[in-house]
Structures are given as C-alpha cells and as structure tokens.
Amino acid sequence: MDTLVYTADISALNDPAVFERLLGAVPEYRREKAMRFKFPGGRMQSLGVGLLLKQACRDAGIEGADEDVVLGENGKPAFRNHPEIHFNLSHSKTRVMCVLSPYEAGCDVEHVRVGRSRLAERFFKEGETRWIHSFAEGEAQDEAFCRLWTLKECYMKVTGRGMALSPDKFTFSVTSEGILLNHDGPRPEYTFREISRDDGFRYAYCLKGMLERHCVVCREIDLTGTAPFKEVAR
C-alpha cells in the first residue's frame, strides 16, 4: 500500500448548499463533530478533513474504514477494523490535510502568520532559533518559523502524545541533506517531508519506519469535483 497525502481547499464549503450536500457524505460521528463547532469556519474544517479521509480510504481500497474510528491514549484516532493502517488529519484556515499510510503517521498544515518568528525563543531550542534568524527578517523568518512548527506538530502527533510532548524537548536540523530529528539522541526511524506551495501555507508529514523505496502519493483534492461523494445513510 502506498502512503497517500491529500490536501484540499475548503472555501467552497462556505456555500450552505454545498456544505449541506457534502455533510451527508461523511459518517454520523463526523457530522456530529462538525456541527458541534459554534462558528462556520470550524464546521468547514471538520467536514473538510472528514471528506479527505473518506476519499483516501476509497482510493486505498478500504472504503468504509472511516466509519468506525476509535480514539487511543491522548486522543489519537485510529481505524477500529484496520489497525494496520494509520491516518492523521490537520487543518488551518481554508486548508485541510490528510495522510493515510501503512506506517505510523503525523501531518500538519499551518498558515504562515506575520510576526510569528519573534516567538522563536519561546518554543524552540537555541540552534533552531539561529536557523530561523539565518533568513532575512520579515516574511522569510516567519516562513522558517512555520516550517519548524509544522515539523514539531507532525512529530508530536505521530508519537500519539500531542501537546503532552513539549516542543522544546526535541530539536530539528533542516539541511540540504534532509530533516533530522534529535530527541534524546538521533531518531533516524522518523522520516519528515514537506510540501511546498506558494499559497501562504506550509505542509509537512512524518512517517515512522518508512522503507527507503516506499511510494508516497501527494494529491490536491477538489472536494466539489466531478466525482461526487456518495451520500451515506443518516
């Protein structure tokens, strides 16, 4: 099985008719979770990641796996009936992301926000802060901060510990040879990759124990495209 990394724009879900139509395509627990959000943005994000996961399951040949999701320790989700397949979800503003893999996985998408680089010393180790400050002040440093933040989130999520694992307890080195993690020593079993797009967001994902020749398929998904989602029974 290939690893699938899917991203999508959820702006179209701002249309109530589109939102209602696609809400009927996801399982009941996802519908309920989406509608618990007070504001439309949260509802759109929750529905968006649910739609991406549904598409990924279909493409991986495990259609319906997303209808029975359980939460492990610290709230990490998993498929009840396919424990050998892992997934992770993320959202930021109008962008959503999903990774589905035979390896333990984590992913993160973040909007690059102005002025965030000023917080580097608060969250990162000295070497990471120096790396951020090696870029030109302003936009370049803000993007470097966001790159490190997405990598940190990926690792915290793939471990299943989430924010229980403080981001200042481990470090990254971003070099021309790749992205290296140090957490109580080098951790080469974790592979980190980024997706670069000129859209004001940063994307990253992490796979644990990935074999060198493993295939990763990255796709941008049109949630309202010509192959509509099949509505599930309410």
pLDDT in tens, 108-159: 999 999 988 888 888 899 999 999 999 999 999 999 999 999 999 999 999 9
Which is it for strands 3-9 and 178-182: parallel, antiparallel or unpaired? unpaired
Per the model's pLDDT, the better-predicted residue between 121 and 25 turns out to be: 25
Q: Locate tokens 């991406």: which residue? A: 52
Q: In angstroms, how far is the first alpha carbon of the chain from the final one?
A: 31
- DSSP conformation class of 69: E
H or E element that contains 7: strand 3-9
Q: Could you tell me if 23 and 48 are in contact, meaning their C-beta atoms sit under 8 angstroms apart?
A: no
- Place 229 in a pLDDT band, splitting at 50, 70 and 90: low
Task: Report the pLDDT value the prediction gives residue 117, as an integer from 0 to 100.
Answer: 86
- Place 39 in a pLDDT band, splitting at 50, 70 and 90: very high
Tokens of 199: 């859209």
CA distance 84 to 138: 43
**Length of the chain in terms of residues written:** 234
Rounded mean pLDDT of 54-64?
A: 96
Closest by CA to 221, choosing from 50, 17, 20, is 50
Q: What is the pLDDT of residues 84-112, one digit of tens each?
A: 999 999 999 999 999 999 999 999 999 99
Instruction: Catalogue all structural domains in the chain, each as residue range(s) with its CATH number.
Output: 1-103+212-226 (3.90.470.20), 110-209 (3.90.470.20)
Closest by CA to 46, choosing from 2, 82, 79, 77, is 77
CA distances from 24 to 28, 32, 215 (A): 9, 11, 32
Task: Report the pLDDT value the prediction gives residue 233, as an integer from 0 to 100.
Answer: 36
